[in-house]
Amino acid sequence: AQKVTQAQTEISVVEKEDVTLDCVYETRDTTYYLFWYKQPPSGELVFLIRRNSFDEQNEISGRYSWNFQKSTSSFNFTITASQVVDSAVYFCALSPYNTDKLIFGTGTRLQVFP
Amino acid sequence: EAGVVQSPRYKIIEKKQPVAFWCNPISGHNTLYWYRQNLGQGPELLIRYENEEAVDDSQLPKDRFSAERLKGVDSTLKIQPAELGDSAVYLCASRGHPTRGFTDTQYFGPGTRLTVL
């Protein structure tokens, strides 16, 4: 079965705190892609990152960083020095190789308070 | 570059009424997707088009849902008749082909929030 689990339903932090959003996936494929999307209150899903299964190098983009560990089937997302504008629902997604499908987790709602 | 455009943004109808949603993908994107997102859940694929051809409609409830993409650009998703359980956000996404200089990533529109009373 192919599945994405985001166990954290909701996280609340105060501005400037660091926060990590967890993502665990299941797949039997050796080749696949992992994504993170942000869904602000406006409703649009905003693409954040795409990672293929052969690239386990961690990535940093400004205040955002991603930790991909195949050994634990996890693709966690950390926001450093969170800001109120980071408040949104964040979705992790799995795309099995050669399927063009996105299998989403149930999302984690992040609330950043001033 | 304009993103994926959807209209209307909100729609409230009574059950058994028909409803239609419209999507205009990013220019040059030949793959178009319709997703349904229930409250508190991630989006789930309803149908995928490659140009004007529906290549994956296995999750589309065909008794009441239909979709079309006649000229391989804009698409319309229709529900007739709507049921209470159809209340959800309907998202459209598009993707270009890497051989044409696009990244292999789906980009989403703002969605249409449907409420069926």
Question: Which chain A residues are within 8 Å of B56, Cβ to Cβ?
Answer: 100-101
A91 with A45: CB under 8 angstroms? Answer: yes
pLDDT digits (tens, 9 = 90+) for A53-79: 988 888 888 999 999 999 999 999 999
The pLDDT value recorded for residue B47 is 96
Residue carrying the six token digits 């629902």? A89
The pLDDT value recorded for residue A12 is 97
> In chain B, which among 41-80 make CB contacts under 8 A with chain A?
41-45, 48, 56
B43 with B54: CB under 8 angstroms? Answer: no
Which residues of A have a CB under 8 Å from any CB of B?
4, 35, 37, 42-47, 50, 91, 93, 100-102, 104-107
Q: Among candidates B115, B41, B43, which has minimal Cα distance to B84? A: B115
Task: Report how far residue A7's alpha carbon sits from residue B63's, in angstroms, rounded to the nearest whole number.
Answer: 34
Question: Which chain B residues are within 8 Å of A105, Cβ to Cβ?
Answer: 42
Question: Which chain A residues are within 8 Å of B93, Cβ to Cβ?
Answer: 45
DSSP B41: S
Mean pLDDT, consecutive 10-residue stretches, chain B (117 aa), reads 90 97 94 95 94 91 93 94 96 86 84 96
